[in-house]
Structure 1
Amino acid sequence: MPRDTLTREQIIRAAVEVLDAEGVEGLNMRRLGTWLGSAATAVYWHVKSKDELVVLAADEVWSEIELPDPAGVGWREAAAVMARNLHSMVVRHPWLVTAMSLYSIYGPGKARHDDHLIGVYEAAGFAGRQVDWAMNVVFVFALGQALGAASDAAWRRRLRRAGGDVEEQVRADTAWITEIAAQFPRLRARLDALGDDGQDESFEFGLQTVLDGLQARLGAR
């Protein structure tokens, strides 16, 4: 694709796709050019470097988060929807965790999210620094819950790039973990009792518990 038919928006969306497939370590201008059917030099007309591209792509995915109106659904549901969206977004784009540890990620997408979230917690009745504290406790919970899936995706990607058999390694790791855990009575009982991992239920339980705490703090005031 010649440079004059490429747009900056096309390049950023393609970068997100490459990052989803191959992670931060798999993105470079040549790889992106191949993905777009273009020369790497055409990409450089729109984006100066891989570092800039990762930052732009990371900011882009923040635009995927829904912004519910607290006046229509209530502050608590608006906060819950945004937390669920954040969790799902990070699971869809696990490379974002790596990007956030390497770069300062901020742009219109992230600012759009943050501005609306401030409004949600102000609508709840928080003020001043308490708005930031309330936002942060929910944000850290949602992001932390997504780290497991993001880490697993990164591990699988690294193993595939090294030519390993992912499913075989998962079976070996599971057998090793089970063997160790079976030596401890409480862990052994949990292994026997647990079937489905219940990640959705676990996330919702934690989210509602955090929001319960914030609501109780508002009531105590």
Structure 2
Amino acid sequence: MAGLDHEERFLFREEILALAAALTEGSALDNVEDLLVDLITSSHFDAEVVTLERSLQAMLGQRQGSTLVTALTAAPEVFDEVAQLRLPPEVVDRLAGWRARFGLAIDNALSFLSNPDGIQGHNFTTQVAHADDRRTLQGRLTFVRYSNESEFFIADASVFLQVAADLLDKLGTHISRDDVDQESVTRLKEAVNLIERRTAPREEA
């Protein structure tokens, strides 16, 4: 593997050999593939990729699970080194196939989590959901990243109000005059007053 000294190369070989041994036990190859397919097709991929390494560690062993994540997201020359280890052909084929099918998406997701994109804008709208003869006010929050990709979240009004309360509570603990403009403070006061008026108990006739 390019860029590795003798000791690092030796350790890499040992880790790959340990991974290969774990993958040849029982139905480990199929189980790992099922896990990766479920992950890559999940609508919650960005959130679930965080737990990928732990899931693989539980399945293969702590050291082997970490090695597999490294192998999936490593540079192509890694497999030149793998080929020299004379691993079982099925293991080599699966590793190469997994990297081709899943590696880039997993690597991008993990890189994003390590270096999260900023938010350049947002939009918030409301909607009413009807289910089981119940009316539920919901909100839809859309964030626009600096990459111009959008991501939206839909939740009941109570959830967004709890988020707003948490934000104000945490920010208020550390905020200074330089961190906020007066217009925003005025809008916050007006919003709280509006909620209080609309949720106040009705006076009895």
TM-score, structure 2 normalization? 0.27
Q: Per chain length, whose mean CA-contact separation is higher, i.e. which structure has more relative contact order (CA < 8 Å, sep 6+)? A: 1
Query: Whose radius of gyration is greater, 1 or 2?
Result: 2
Q: Which has the higher helix share?
A: 1
Q: Which has the higher strand share?
A: 2
